[in-house]
A and B are shown apart, each in its own frame.
Chain A
Amino acid sequence: MDIFLQQFINGLTLGCVYAVVALGYTMVYGIVQLINFAHGEVVMIGAMVAFSVIVALAGSGVPPLAIVILGVLAAVPACMAVGYTVERVAYRPLRHAPRLAPLITAIGVSIILQHVALLIWGRNYISFPQIIPTATYHFGASETSATITNIQIAIITLSIAMMVGLVTLIYKTRMGIAMRAVSQRPDVAGLMGISANGVISFTFVIGAALGAIAGVMIGSYYGIAHYQMGFLLGLKAFCAAVLGGIGNLAGAVLGGILIGLIEAFGAGYMGDLTNVCTLNKFLPGFAAMCEANNNMSVFGSSYKDVFAFVVLILVLVFRPQGLLGERVSDRA
């Protein structure tokens, strides 16, 4: 039970990060029907900028919490600028081109951002400075009970705060009304006096800001950052957005948390479930192999990166609109 609870907490933490990144995908998709391939790279740049600021200030006597906040405050505008530039340069000119075109520029932009980051921060893994000491809290009295760290608590709380903020923005403000209008019918929204281009830029910028914070969160959670860290994270978050129903905010959150949990439980239990030595009770014949080595898992935790894609393929085959999505017409 302790292991179960532990995996649940780890999965939830990771899921919250996926959810925040997935929100960026889903917002952009909802408004321009474009998969912003470069979103994962924006997350990576957020982590890298925050890293640089935190390292620069680490020894300066500023309180640790203030340093982290300053790091986030530097990462957010940097990512907003990247998000805006990418939209302006690579996507806007192609808004009415065939679908393939913006998709290809998106991949190109993603490659360019990755390698610019490589030029700035180098190709090695850089360790994220842990300037706030990790505190661990136990759920039970015993030493083996499940634990939660202050970083995990911070990630979960911050993610929920951002989700609430985003929902407020979209459903309670004038800008939110404009965003929903543009996502339904850009041309008619234009007739109502809404600057569609402005709203689309705004959406990219908000998505990038969320991505920046997600980058800082994942960087401090894993304790490392790398110029390619955004790629897999972005893909998984995209899977999450599709699982929940792309274009649907609640769906992105649900999908993100589900993917996080699936990954954590998958990594935790897959090895035992596919161990041929356990199967030996039902399917005899592996006994000789098991005598030499008791750990004969067919699929170990090294396959954890596969789960998100398998979920994606299953969702697309059986329920393409996602868990919470409405049936979307084929606008290809």
Chain B
Amino acid sequence: MTSYLPENLRKHPAAIWAGFALVAIALAALPFVLSMAGLAWVRITNLAILFILLSLGLNIVVGFAGLLDLGYIAFYAVGAYVYALLASPHFGIHLPFWVILPIGAAVACLFGVMLGAPTLKLRGDYLAIVTLGFGEIVRIFLNNLSEPINITNGPKGISRIDSISLWGMDFGATTRFGNFAIDGLIKYYYLLLFILVIVIVINIRLQNSRIGRAWEAIREDELAARSMGINTIKLKLLAFAMGASFGGIAGGIFSSIQGFISPESFTLTESVMILAMVVLGGMGNIWGVIVGALLLSFVPEFLRYAVTPAQQFLFGRQIIEAEVLRMLLFGLAMVVMMLYRPAGLLPSAVRKREFAKASS
């Protein structure tokens, strides 16, 4: 881990461990602090972590391998529906979480390969459109696969999805130790945090591996990469498959936290949001992507709490809905970042060089 830290810190291992410990304590205490302001904030934090997971998955495709995927939400949807179908009264199947998770990841991965195989020969902008179309196709199918055999229950969605249960502990219910109650949302927070740490470690290891460097080479110059003996098709496919699996895992957890899913949750808007998070933070930089996802998850929530009352106070009525403002923010983030800071808030070193070279 130490090689990703600044030079002056690397010489003081004790300081590093102290730093880690402080961050860990802060993260562990966070849900209790937040729940003082209301459990809604814990829920928002959980969703933010889900968005970080999704952004990290998309970052593999867009950031590492440089393939613009505009239908990423489709894999999230696949993961969510796999969980919902295998753990709800809809089919009467109730498999445990740790059985479904790999199935969800594998099915999403399969979809990633299905999408990638015919399209990866294409140039970047065509790929963007095809993935966009793929996202729409998946949503249209989810909406209509209720006839003649009811698989997805159509636009009505699937409800009463099981909450995750591990080692006899139900994540959907409140646990009590005497007077001390831990809400289900807080338990989910720890579970998500645990998965997030694993995903971050995988991402860091991946980025600096042989595969990660090959992706980077493909992104910079595909022809040169191929002449260096990199099997570009295979590696691009791998990027798609891995990104898709992370999306599938996040989808499964989303499904169990919400307890209800419908095709409405998986529109192009969500794909664009995740892309905006990756772009804002800095494509290809793991920490940048995390910052981007956090900013674009929390700022709109603060806006929701601040803008509506402020408008009521100033104008006596609501002029701009918070939801609209949120989407305008996503759009602006993408345009402004590309124009003024194309490598993102926390740019990866290589990306920075690439964009600087291009503009000179």
Q: Give me the interface of A with B, judged by CB distance under 8 Å.
A: 34-35, 89-90, 93-94, 96-105, 107-112, 114-116, 118-119, 231-232, 235, 238-239, 242, 276, 289, 293, 296-298, 300, 302-303, 305-306, 308-310, 312-313, 316-317, 320, 330-332
Contacts and interface: CB of A to CB of B under 8 A. Distances in A.
A39 to B, nearest CB: 12
A35 B128 contact: yes
Contacts, number: 141
Contact of B133 (A100, A105, A116, A309): A309
Nearest to A274: B148
B328 A104 contact: no
A108 B331 contact: yes
B61 to A, nearest CB: 12
B338 A104 contact: yes
Contacts of B332: 108, 112
B70 A332 contact: no
Contact of B338 (A105, A110, A111, A313): A105
A109 B129 contact: no
Residue among A101, A276, A296 having the largest count of chain B Cβ atoms under 10 Å: A101
B355 interface: yes
A276 B147 CA distance: 12
Contacts of A94: 338-339
B79 interface: no
What interface size band does chain B fall in?
A: 35 or more
Interface in B126-153: 126, 128-130, 132-134, 136-137, 140-141, 143-144, 147-148
A90 B335 contact: yes
A115 B279 CA distance: 20
A306 B122 CA distance: 20
B228 interface: no
Given A111-B331, A112-B332, A118 B338 contact: no
Given A97-B359, A312-B129, 15 more contacts: A98-B342, A98-B355, A104-B68, A107-B272, A108-B334, A112-B328, A112-B332, A112-B335, A118-B324, A242-B129, A306-B137, A309-B134, A316-B130, A332-B123, A332-B124
B148 A316 contact: no
11 contacts: A94-B338, A96-B359, A98-B358, A101-B338, A115-B328, A118-B324, A119-B320, A289-B148, A306-B136, A312-B133, A313-B133
A11 to B, nearest CB: 20
Interface string B326-347: 0110111111001100100000
B275 interface: yes
A97 B331 CA distance: 19
Nearest to A317: B118
B263 to A, nearest CB: 12
A115 B123 contact: no
Contacts of B68: 100, 103-104
B32 to A, nearest CB: 37
The 4 closest A-B pairs by CB, nearest first: A108-B334, A309-B133, A111-B331, A112-B331
